[in-house]
Amino acid sequence: MTPTPHSRPWYDRLATMQAGYWYPWHATMGKWNGEDEYLTLVDEHIGPDVELLDVACGHGAVALELAKRAHSVVAYDRIASWIEGAQQTARQQGVTNITYLCHDSSSDANGGSPRLPGDDQGYDLLICRRGPWHWVEDARRVARPGATLIMLVPDARPLPVWNDQMPEAFRFTHVPDDPNWARNSLEPRLIASGLALHSTWDFDVPEYFATPEQFYALLAWGYAPGEKPTYDEVAPALERIFAEHAGKDGLELRHVRHLWKAVVPN
């Protein structure tokens, strides 16, 4: 059975296909894409005295870069092979102030309540880039007074005007009914933890694909051979879409990103 994209079984299988969490296609992003703003916001709160927790760090590339500017970093993910690769990279680069942990912080793995790695009031900065939500419920415990929480949340893309021309197996189908669902999901978790939103930002993000082959790499990402049509089978339809709808920058696919920040009371 094909796992639902971005479900736990899907990530488990992706770990058998890739040595880390990255996008195996080439595309360009427009300005104000959320990803850069997330890193800028994190940089504003990092420093030589900061102890940082990176939630759901994937293969740990962002955490490794941040370790250069922090006092210490703890970064975790539940995918063991990605963490093992991150540990090896840190050793090879001689980075000694970062600890990579294989840890499942979900409530299912911790007796019904989410559990972050770390002692009480152990971190000054907690970050999560495109990860799960549940960690917020235990953030107050491990965060020091005055600590900052930052998270970037991906959202479903608006349906493109050429969606009906897509091969049926790759047609986009999901559009959120509530454009405020991310905030409405987050705020109850924060309130239950005695926290409140400090700032939020929403981004409408264009991504441009130069060729049908690169666009297909996105469409087929995470699927095993045989689960979706091959490129040769769908090439005529994709080439037609590019011919009719691609601009000078390529074929545009839009995304939504939500960025939020919360501060632990002193």
The more confidently predicted of residues 48 and 30 is 48
SS3 track for 30-87: CCCCCHHHHHHHHHHHCCCCCEEEEECCCCCHHHHHHCCCCCEEEEEECCHHHHHHHH
* pLDDT for residue 239 is more than 80: yes
Instruction: Kindly state the average pLDDT of the residues 184-207.
Output: 92
Distance CA 160, CA 173 (A): 10
Closest CA to 233 of 173, 168, 163: 168
Please tell me the predicted confidence (pLDDT) of residue 218. 97
Question: What pLDDT digit, counting tens, does each position of 200-223 carry?
Answer: 999 999 999 999 999 999 999 999
Instruction: Kindly state the average pLDDT of the residues 133-157.
Output: 94
Distance CA 125, CA 135 (A): 13
Please give the single-letter amino acid code of residue 142.
V
- Strands 51-55, 123-129: pairing is parallel
* pLDDT for residue 178 is more than 80: no
Please tell me the predicted confidence (pLDDT) of residue 183. 84
* pLDDT for residue 5 is more than 90: no
* Domain 8-263: top CATH class: alpha beta
Q: List the domain boundaries for the chain.
A: 8-263
Q: Against a cut of 0.75, is the pTM above it?
A: yes
* pLDDT for residue 92 is more than 90: yes
Position 72 confidence tier, pLDDT thresholds 50, 70, 90: very high
Position 157 confidence tier, pLDDT thresholds 50, 70, 90: confident
Helix (H) or strand (E) holding 262, with range, is strand 251-263
* pLDDT for residue 87 is more than 80: yes
